[in-house]
Amino acid sequence: MSKVKAAITAVGAYVPEYRLTNAILETIVDTNDEWITSRTGIKERRILKDKDKGTSYLAIMAAKNLIEKKKLDPTTIDLIIVATATPDMPVASTAAYVASEIGAVNAFSYDLMAACSSFLYGMSTASSYIESGRYKKVLLIGADKMSSIIDYEDRATCIIFGDGGGAVLFEPNTEGNGFEDEILRSDGIGRNFLKIEAGGSLTPASHESVDNKQHYVFQDGKNVFKYAVSKMADVSEQIVKRNQLTNEDIDWLVPHQANKRIIDATARRVDLPEEKVMVNIHKFGNTTSATLPLCLNDYETQLKKGDRLVFAAFGGGFTWGSVYLTWAYDS
C-alpha cells in the first residue's frame, strides 16, 4: 500500500470589495503610482472597511467559499487552523469563532502565528496531522486584516499591505500526490526589523504606546528586503535540489506576495520563467497569511493533477521556508 500523503483537495478565498488604489494612496501620503509600481509591483489592495468586522470575517467568508465549491459538510471537519498575524483578539482564539460560525461543530481549532510565513508553517502542521493518520479533514485558513495594524500616515508600510483570506482543505491521498517536503527556518534577529512593538507582554498597551504609534507595523524595509531576497531564494533552491528537480520538472512557483522584486529574485534562483510563477500582488498587495491561498485560488483552474508546486515565504520574526507539494486534482 502506498504511503498516505496529505493533499490539498479544495481551495476557497475572499477579498473585500473596497479597492485602495495607488491613485487613492497619492491623496493620503506623499507617494506616487510610478514609485509604488516600480518598487513593489502593487497597483491596488482590498480593504475591509467595516469597523465591526475583524480577521474572522475574512476567514469565515473564505471557508464558506471553499465549503460551497467542494460541497463539504462542515460537521465532517476535524480541525481548523487559522494562520494569521491579526487575530480578532489577543486571547480568544479566532479559529474557535470561525469554526462555530461555519458549523464545524465537531472540529477543534486554533490560531497559528508566524507573521507572513503563518500559512506556509500551517501547511506543515496540517499535513502532519493527516500523514499521522490522526485526522482526515484539516481546514487551513490564512487570513489577515492588515489595515487594522497599518499607520496610513506611514508611506513606507501603508502602500504595501492589504486585507484578504484564503482556505485549503487537506485530506489523505493514496494516489501519490500531496505534501512532499519542507524546509522551514527562523531567526530571532528579525524582530529588530519588522514588528509591532507594543500590545504584547513585553510592552503592554499604554497611553504612551498609543501616542508613540507602537501598535502599528514597523518595518525597516531595506533590511527586510535584503534578508527576504536571499533567504526565500536559498530555501527554494535547496528544496529543488534535495528533491532532484530540474526547472523543467517544476510546474509552479507559489511565492509569498510581499514585493514583485523578491518574487522575481526567487524565480531567477530556481530558473523559472514568469509563466510558471503565480503572481497577484498587483491586485491584492501583501495580505500576509493570505497570499499563498489567494494565489492558489486565482490559479486553481490552471492546476492539473500531478503538477509540482514549490511554495516559498518570508516574514517577521524572521520566519521563512519552502514547501514542495504535488497537486491532487484537476479542477
Residues serving a catalytic function are 116, 256, 286
Within 244-296, strands assigned E span 252-255
Looking only at residues 48 through 77 of this chain, which bind ligand UT7 when binding is defined by CB under 6 A? none
Looking only at residues 274 through 293 of this chain, which bind ligand UT7 when binding is defined by CB under 6 A? 286
Task: For the CB of residue 212, give the shortest distance to ligand UT7 in the complex, in Å.
Answer: 21
Beta bridge partners of 10: 169
Which of 237, 89, 81 has the alpha carbon at shortest distance from 166?
81
Exactly one of 4, 26, 39, 125 binds ligand UT7 (CB under 6 A); that residue is 39
The answer to whether the CB of 246 falls within 8 A of the CB of 303 is no
If you ran DSSP here, which 8-state letter would residue 243 be given? T
C-alpha cell, 324: 514542495
Give me the long-range contacts of 195-202 (CB less than 8 A, separation at least 24): 195/316, 196/149, 199/90, 200/90
How many residues bind to ligand UT7 according to rule CB under 6 A?
20
Exactly one of 4, 18, 19, 31 binds ligand UT7 (CB under 6 A); that residue is 31
The answer to whether the CB of 288 falls within 8 A of the CB of 258 is no
Exactly one of 52, 222, 244, 248 binds ligand UT7 (CB under 6 A); that residue is 222
C-alpha cell, 195: 514588528
**Alpha-carbon gap, residue 37 to 20, rounded angstroms:** 14
Beta bridge partners of 311: 254, 323
Task: For the CB of residue 158, give the shortest distance to ligand UT7 in the complex, in Å.
Answer: 8
Decide: is 155 part of the binding site for ligand UT7 (CB under 6 A): yes
Within 241-318, strands assigned E span 252-255, 308-315
User: Strand 308-315 vs strand 218-219: parallel, antiparallel, or unpaired?
Assistant: unpaired
Q: Mark 88-107 with x for binding to ligand UT7 (rule: CB under 6 A) and - for no binding.
A: --------------------
> For residue 74, what are the contacts with CB-CB under 8 A and spacing of at least 6?
67, 102, 103, 104, 105
CB closer to ligand UT7, 11 vs 228: 228
Exactly one of 162, 165, 315, 317 binds ligand UT7 (CB under 6 A); that residue is 315
CB closer to ligand UT7, 9 vs 286: 286
Exactly one of 4, 149, 156, 184 binds ligand UT7 (CB under 6 A); that residue is 156
Task: For the CB of residue 118, give the shortest distance to ligand UT7 in the complex, in Å.
Answer: 11
CB closer to ligand UT7, 158 vs 169: 158
Exactly one of 80, 95, 102, 258 binds ligand UT7 (CB under 6 A); that residue is 258
Task: For the CB of residue 60, give the shortest distance to ligand UT7 in the complex, in Å.
Answer: 24
* Residue whose Cβ sits closest to ligand UT7: 221
Burial label for 88, CB within 10 Å (0-12, 13-18, 19+), is: buried
Decide: is 42 part of the binding site for ligand UT7 (CB under 6 A): no
Exactly one of 7, 150, 159, 303 binds ligand UT7 (CB under 6 A); that residue is 159
**Alpha-carbon gap, residue 129 to 6, rounded angstroms:** 8
The count of other CB atoms within 10 Å of the CB of residue 208 is 10
Task: For the CB of residue 6, give the shortest distance to ligand UT7 in the complex, in Å.
Answer: 25
C-alpha cell, 240: 529543488
Decide: is 214 part of the binding site for ligand UT7 (CB under 6 A): no
Exactly one of 40, 287, 289, 297 binds ligand UT7 (CB under 6 A); that residue is 40
Q: Where on the chain is the footprint of ligand UT7 (CB under 6 A)?
A: 31, 35, 39-40, 116, 155-156, 159-160, 221-222, 224-225, 228, 258-259, 262, 286, 314-315
